[in-house]
């Protein structure tokens, strides 16, 4: 059996010596395991490197533990670094108009800049649902200074820029990554698409097609994560604020036009609802650019009121009211595979309760609970940091063969939040799945051992700091914190606060959560799913026997 690395060489002394080098140095021994082959190489002397005495005096590196320095090498010299304090310290400037500018240093050739607007689907109660969805798809189309796609592409390519726009339930984010020395023209482009969009008929036609395709994809995905997250909010908050759909309903696709979009922007794209952020740019230069492109700019809706609706709704200042409730969607999911391999028939359940806002003192408690519960799919490659010791893996996926997926989530907003578990199983086991989820919520505050807590803390801290190695993540964290609270709390402070959490803090958060009414979503074939009132009664009484499952009996 010959080494694959050396198979191309002829059987000569040179190739034999090269073969031995592969066996000893490149760990190819598993490709040539025959004792006879190994014996034939044992008498060949090890080649020596001529010209560097350090390399010839090295010991066999394979026999030295990684924790022990190799002998024979010159001592390493280390550069002394002078600490500059908190590396996440932000600089914030606020104009008289209410516009806020925030920056954070980040060394390198590229930067991330953009704007976050206090808008989104939660503010669409007085506008057609789906307006924010359209604004996302029309974000970087023609505007007054850049009227053709060729001009836009040429400008972005010239400065090495990548742009993106995303809308959530409570924000619309415009961002760009570009060369640091060229951030000003890119910021000028962002300001123009925000304040002076054209929204031509051809662009609206294309956007309608994109939105329609997007909605169709959300509703036909084999694993409908986005749809389920939208539905659990609708069940928890009914038809108001956070319960309004993030996706445009089919009946509104043709209704949303230029006047609707510009009227929405006039209401919500005001300076006091916008935060401009920059990561890796000089704060003074960013402030000067914002003053020129944002503060001194007169939006198109002020200059051309004929483009607006005759009656423009005021800002919706409604506070999100958690109500709890249920949404069931019966749908045949037995044949939704998108490939030659059949996808298993599943029914999906989402169960959740009210948590808290990101301004609440229990915010980190719920974040730690999310890390503690973890979860994922029934198949995972494992590996460090995958959360294989989280409760949903240990207690649910490893013990119940019929559960395909179980994952926890905690989503917080300015005025409330929701903690939920999304799970999937075959439709015949949907009643048992609900019983298992209820059991995990009941047991959430039990046996909170120090080892488990420390593991969850390490998980959430490492996730936080690793994510904050990326400029776009820093940008969103910086701007959204300032948008919601007017200050930027350092990640280092979060680490200290996480370390201070104790089991009693989590028990308090669990009790608070379970005192709210359950929110429930069922999607798929739901014949085996218990009635909502029965599930609600079982949760209120903490009695799993009331669920009357088909195969599981709880004592």
Q: What is the DSSP string of 262-317?
A: HHHHHHH--GGGEEEEEESS-HHHHHHHHIIIIIS---HHHH-GGGS-SS-PPP--
Measured distance CA(138)–CA(165) in Å, rounded: 9
- CATH architecture of the domain covering 325-547: 2-Layer Sandwich (3.30)
* Radius of gyration of the CA atoms of the chain, in A: 29
* For residues 324-329, average pLDDT: 97
pLDDT of 35 over the 50 cut? yes
Q: What is the model's pLDDT at position 46?
A: 56
Q: What is the model's pLDDT at position 39?
A: 53
CA 459 to chain centre: 15
pLDDT of 181 over the 90 cut? yes
Residue 76 has a CB neighbour count (10 Å cut-off) of 6
> CA dist 125 to 130, 137, 153, 235, 451, Å?
10, 20, 35, 16, 46
Q: Which of 448-452, 488-492, 551-555 has the lowest mean pLDDT?
A: 551-555
pLDDT of 4 over the 90 cut? no
Closest CA to 289 of 488, 93, 487: 93
pLDDT of 506 over the 70 cut? yes
Q: Name the pLDDT band for 84 (thresholds 50, 70, 90).
A: low
Asked whether this chain's domains 90-307 and 325-547 adopt the same fold, the reply is yes
Closest CA to 424 of 527, 523, 495: 523
pLDDT of 555 over the 60 cut? no
Reported as a single tens digit per residue, the pLDDT across 65-78 is 888 888 778 877 77
Q: What is the model's pLDDT at position 32?
A: 45
Q: Long-range contacts for 17-25 (Cβ within 8 Å, ≥24 apart)?
A: 17/44, 17/47, 20/44, 20/46, 21/47, 24/62
Q: What is the model's pLDDT at position 67?
A: 83
Q: What is the model's pLDDT at position 48?
A: 54
> CA dist 376 to 368, 372, 398, 452, Å?
17, 13, 11, 18
Give the H/E segment covering residue 475: helix 471-485
Reported as a single tens digit per residue, the pLDDT across 41-53 is 555 555 555 555 5
Q: What is the model's pLDDT at position 9?
A: 40
Reported as a single tens digit per residue, the pLDDT across 230-273 is 999 999 999 889 999 999 999 999 999 999 999 999 999 999 99
To the nearest whole number, what is the mean pLDDT of the chain?
Answer: 88
Q: What is the pTM (predicted TM-score) of this model? A: 0.83
H-type alpha helices, 360-449: 363-373, 391, 430-442
Q: What residue segments make up the domains of the chain, in order of their start?
A: 13-63, 90-307, 325-547
What is the torsional sign of CA 338, 339, 340, 342?
negative
CATH 3.30.830.10 fits 90-307, yes or no: yes
Measured distance CA(228)–CA(398) in Å, rounded: 24
CA 290 to chain centre: 28
> Do residues 446 and 546 make contact, with C-beta atoms less than 8 angstroms apart?
no
* For residues 338-354, average pLDDT: 88
At residue 157's C-alpha, the angle toward residues 151 and 162, to 5°, is 105
- Strand order through the sheet with 162-167: 90-94, 100-104, 274-279, 110-117, 172-179, 162-167
> Do residues 308 and 262 make contact, with C-beta atoms less than 8 angstroms apart?
yes
Q: What is the model's pLDDT at position 179?
A: 96
Q: What is the model's pLDDT at position 335?
A: 82
> Any idea how long the chain is?
555
DSSP state letter for 249: -
pLDDT of 402 over the 90 cut? yes
Q: Which structure tokens are listed for 4?
A: 């694959």
* For residues 465-483, average pLDDT: 95
Measured distance CA(200)–CA(143) in Å, rounded: 10
Q: Which structure tokens are listed for 371?
A: 């890390």
Measured distance CA(139)–CA(164) in Å, rounded: 8
Measured distance CA(284)–CA(279) in Å, rounded: 13
Reported as a single tens digit per residue, the pLDDT across 122-180 is 999 999 999 999 999 999 999 999 999 999 999 999 999 999 999 999 999 999 999 99
> CA dist 503 to 369, 457, 507, 512, Å?
10, 12, 6, 14
Burial 422-442 (b: 16+ CB within 10 A, else e): bbbbbbebbbbbbbbbbbbbb
* For residues 276-288, average pLDDT: 97
Task: Report the chain's terminal Cα–Cα distance, integer Å.
Answer: 60
Q: What is the model's pLDDT at position 47?
A: 54
Q: What is the model's pLDDT at position 28?
A: 46
Beta bridge partners of residue 115, listed in sequence order:
174, 276
Q: What is the model's pLDDT at position 378?
A: 73
What is the torsional sign of CA 263, 268, 274, 279?
negative
């Amino acid at each position: 059996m010959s080494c694959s690395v050396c198979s191309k060489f002829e059987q000569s002394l040179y190739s034999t010596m090269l073969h031995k080098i592969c066996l000893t140095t490149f760990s190819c021994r598993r490709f040539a395991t025959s004792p006879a082959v190994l014996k034939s190489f044992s008498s060949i002397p090890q080649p020596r490197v001529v010209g560097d005495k350090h390399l010839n005096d090295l010991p066999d590196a394979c026999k030295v533990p990684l924790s022990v320095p190799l002998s024979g090498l010159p001592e390493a010299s280390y550069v002394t670094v002078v600490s500059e304090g908190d590396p996440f310290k932000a600089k914030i400037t606020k104009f008289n108009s209410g516009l806020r500018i925030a920056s954070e240093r980040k060394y390198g050739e590229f930067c991330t800049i953009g704007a976050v607007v206090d808008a989104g689907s939660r503010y669409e109660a007085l506008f057609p649902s789906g307006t924010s969805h359209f604004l996302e798809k029309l974000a970087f189309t023609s505007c007054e200074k850049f009227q053709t796609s060729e001009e836009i592409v040429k400008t972005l390519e010239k400065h090495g820029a990548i742009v993106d726009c995303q809308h959530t339930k409570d924000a619309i984010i415009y961002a760009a990554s570009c060369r640091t020395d060229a951030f000003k023209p890119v910021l000028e482009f962002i300001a123009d698409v925000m304040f002076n969009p054209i929204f031509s008929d051809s662009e609206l036609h294309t956007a309608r097609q994109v939105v329609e395709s997007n909605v169709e994809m959300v509703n036909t995905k084999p694993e409908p994560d986005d749809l389920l997250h939208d539905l659990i909010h609708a069940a928890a908050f009914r038809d108001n604020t956070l319960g309004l759909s993030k996706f445009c309903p089919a009946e509104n696709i043709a209704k949303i036009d230029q006047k609707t979009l510009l009227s929405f922007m006039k209401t919500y794209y005001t300076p006091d609802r916008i935060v401009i952020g920059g990561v890796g740019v000089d704060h003074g230069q960013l402030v000067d650019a914002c003053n020129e492109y944002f503060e001194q700019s007169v939006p198109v809706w002020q200059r051309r009121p004929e483009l607006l609706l005759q009656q423009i709704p005021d800002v919706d200042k409604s506070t999100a009211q958690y109500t709890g409730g249920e949404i069931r969607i019966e749908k045949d999911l037995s044949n939704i595979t998108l490939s030659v391999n059949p996808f298993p028939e599943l029914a999906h359940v989402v169960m959740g309760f009210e948590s808290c806002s990101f301004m609440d003192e229990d915010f980190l408690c719920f974040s730690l609970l999310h890390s503690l519960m973890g979860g994922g799919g029934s198949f995972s490659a494992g590996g460090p940091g995958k959360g294989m010791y989280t409760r949903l893996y240990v207690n649910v996926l490893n013990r119940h063969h019929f559960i395909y997926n179980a994952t926890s989530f905690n989503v917080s907003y300015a005025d409330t939040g929701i903690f939920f578990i999304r799970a999937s199983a075959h439709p015949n086991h949907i009643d048992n799945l609900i019983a298992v989820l209820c059991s995990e919520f009941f047991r959430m505050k039990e046996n909170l051992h120090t080892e488990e807590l420390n593991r969850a803390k390490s998980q959430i801290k490492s996730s936080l700091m690793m994510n904050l190695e990326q400029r776009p993540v820093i940008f969103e964290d910086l701007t959204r914190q300032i948008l919601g609270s007017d200050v930027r709390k350092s990640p280092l402070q979060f680490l200290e606060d996480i370390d201070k959490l104790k089991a009693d803090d989590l028990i308090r958060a669990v009790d608070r959560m379970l005192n709210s009414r359950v929110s429930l979503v069922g999607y798929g074939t739901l014949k085996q799913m218990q009635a909502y009132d029965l599930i609600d009664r079982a949760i209120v009484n903490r009695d799993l026997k009331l669920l009357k499952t088909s195969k599981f009996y709880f004592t």
